[in-house]
Amino acid sequence: MRTLHWYILRQVLASLVVSVAVFAFVLLLGNILKEVLALMVNGQANLGMIGRLVLLLVPFVLVYALPMGFLTTALLVFGRLSADNELTAMRASGVSLASLITPILLLSFSLCVVSGAINMFVAPKCKLAFKSIVRDVGLKRLGALLQEKTFIRDEDRIVYIGSIDKSGTNLEHILIYELNNEGELASYIRATSGQVSVDRTNNLLHVSLQDAWQTSIQGAWRSPIYLGSNVELTPVSLTNARKRAASLSEMSVTDLMTQLRIVEQSFGLHQPELPRAELELAMRVMQHMESDVTMPIKVEIHQQVSFSFACFGFTLLGVPLGIRSHRRETTFGIAVALLLVMVYYSFFILGQALESHPEYGPHYLLWMPNFIFQAVGGVLLWRANRTA
């Protein structure tokens, strides 16, 4: 029995390493093209910084690559064992399917622990560090945050920049449309060029315009007014940008629990003395408001925890499906794995979409794919153990 266990376990481990590496590479490449490529093209990041960014992305992609890789491994290995009639020979020698896959189930459960540690602690911290580096690069070259030939809408203005040089500090062909309180065009400023600079000491962004003209619109067009050859606009504070609070997806599960407790305590303040009917109404309103505020935090907590059990559910479902497929083709296993992954992740997408509707219980919806996959996989595994 030990020989059979090691035989199957070696094949699973070999296939698992390759599958996880392939999925991690594909996911990593997609994130690099999305996040890092722009920094490379603009010359904003050297090789050392790019290496750090890639390493920070590795835990984030492993969260998804581990379950996908284990599902693909289960389909491929047990599909091949079934196609080569090796499982039939093992069963003929009196070994049950349940005993054969016991090491695989233990391996999947251990990977659930590893996936949980990455998903709940390592990946959020790495994601926060990644975003911080990208944001700091943007603050060093703020011109890179501006897009040329694009209308950029602010609270009381619309900015259009014709071109930006490679340094990200020199601008040309600038148009600034000033809006009034009703959002209507009040005036516009035209400048042939401009510069962007950063005051690191005071955390201020300075924008200066060269050869700027302003045209005021007060019911009718007025003649342009020459503002000067060097016009300084009102500095923009960067304090809030540097002290940006971490988003929910960038918090570990302990940080999320702390944030949830703080929010719940803010709604648990002592209520004033009110008549019974008014007090009940006030309590219902407060509970509804609390659900609206805390639901996104609960969704993120349940997502991190429930997603950690994906490996186990994928194993229970992948083993009997691989045996039933009775095929050893790699393309078939990958196709089935991708289909099942899409079904699994659709529940998480739906749960995130419904986080603003606490009446639907989206945080409980995130556990549905685990229950469904484990239940269906358990039934299929039980039937395979009886009929094989």
3-state secondary structure of 353: helix
Residue 267 has pLDDT above 60, yes or no: no
Domain interval for residue 70: 2-140+295-387
Domain boundary among 239, 266, 282: 239
Q: How many CB atoms lie within 10 A of CB 145?
A: 15
| pLDDT > 90: percent of the chain | 35
Q: Looking at the domain assignment, is residue 157 inside a domain?
A: yes
Separation CA 144–CA 43 (nearest Å): 10
On whether both 233 and 114 belong to a single domain, the answer is: no
Considering its fold, how many domains does the chain have in total? Answer: 2
pLDDT band at 139 (very low <50, low <70, confident <90, very high): low
On whether both 357 and 335 belong to a single domain, the answer is: yes
Q: What is the pLDDT of residues 230-259, one digit of tens each?
A: 888 766 555 554 444 567 888 899 999 998
Highest mean pLDDT, choosing among 12-26, 79-93, 355-369: 12-26
Identify the residue with better confidence: 378 or 198: 378
Beta strands in the chain (DSSP E): 151-153, 157-164, 170-179, 185-199, 204-216, 225-228, 231-232, 236-237
Q: What Å distances lie between residue 228 and 156, 179, 214, 317, 334, CA to CA?
A: 22, 22, 10, 72, 65
On whether both 229 and 299 belong to a single domain, the answer is: no
Q: Looking at the domain assignment, is residue 130 inside a domain?
A: yes
On whether both 136 and 204 belong to a single domain, the answer is: no
Identify the residue with better confidence: 97 or 223: 97
Q: Looking at the domain assignment, is residue 253 inside a domain?
A: no
| The pLDDT value given to residue 297 | 87
With 0.75 as the threshold, say if the pTM is over it: no
